[in-house]
Amino acid sequence: MSFGLSRGRTLDTSAAGLRAEDLPPLPDGLAANPDAARLDPRAWFEHPERPFEIEIGSGKGAFLVQQGELEPGTNFLGIEWAKEFWAYIADRLRRRGLRNVRALHADATQFLRWRVPASCARVVHLYFSDPWPKSRHHKRRVVQDAFLADAWRVLTDEGELRIVTDHDDYWAWMEDHFARWAPPTGDGPFTRHNFAPPPSAGEGEVVGTNFERKYRREGRPFHAATLRKNPIHPPPPN
Ligand SMILES: C[S@@+](CC[C@H](N)C(=O)[O-])C[C@H]1O[C@@H](n2cnc3c(N)ncnc32)[C@H](O)[C@@H]1O
């Protein structure tokens, strides 16, 4: 495949790329039987028994490449719905010879909801998620009550949802959700903690993705939080 990002090179997605469109179709009546289409994405890795982490909206894949190289004993699945970016990441992973990182072309919110089994991911990473600033588009934001319920379900006990954004209005929206999902009383589905930069972040960086580096040059401030799954307090049913 050849895309704009490839600067004329043919991108080879065969070693590290997966596509939701190649999975068996979602059956009818999923709402009544939400487990009907589950699969185990850990089986896509050479060592499925290793800890598993998911990144939502990987962009050009900086986090996946940096953290995947530093942590070869962890399996990382990056989910990206823009085909050009997905192909770019998959080719980049192949060129780097990274066997513990895979890129999936999919809508991550749908993939989490219908495909990912419970209690399988140690971390869900969400960095510089699209803010969808217009009110009529807020429903497209990744952070929603339904997403937080899905994240809670797929995380292992004490597993973490790690979030960074530059966008003040989206952050206020997230804070509103966090107040209900991770109340300071500690008796919510999550407990809230400071965000700890991953080992791959550079000096002075929060997480070290492409968007952080771009926005840092523009002098924008960042917001970050870690929500840790509280296994004894499930979310209310949808
Ligand atoms: C603003 S970019 C940030 C990219 C990267 N995380 C970074 O910090 O450099 C957001 C990315 O998330 C992707 N994205 C947004 N919603 C998504 C979804 N529901 N599923 C998968 N990818 C999504 C977009 O295509 C885009 O590449």
Instruction: Compute the distance between CA of residue 198 and CA of residue 62 in angstroms, rounded to an integer.
Output: 13
Instruction: Compute the distance between CA of residue 24 and CA of residue 183 in angstroms, rounded to an integer.
Output: 39
119 Cα–ligand 1 center, Å: 23
Rounded to 10 degrees, the C-alpha dihedral 155/161/162/168 comes to 160
Nearest atom in ligand 1 to the alpha carbon of residue 127 is 6
Q: What is the DSSP letter of 50?
A: S
* Residues 58-81 pLDDT 10s: 999 999 999 999 999 999 999 999
Active site residues: 130
Q: pTM for this structure?
A: 0.97
Continuous segment of H or E residues that includes residue 176: helix 168-181
Instruction: Compute the distance between CA of residue 72 and CA of residue 204 in angstroms, rounded to an integer.
Output: 24
* Residues 104-147 pLDDT 10s: 999 999 999 999 999 999 999 999 999 999 999 999 999 999 99
142 lines ligand 1 (CB under 6 A): yes
Nearest atom in ligand 1 to the alpha carbon of residue 164 is 8
Domains by residue range for the chain, with CATH: 4-20+53-229 (3.40.50.150)
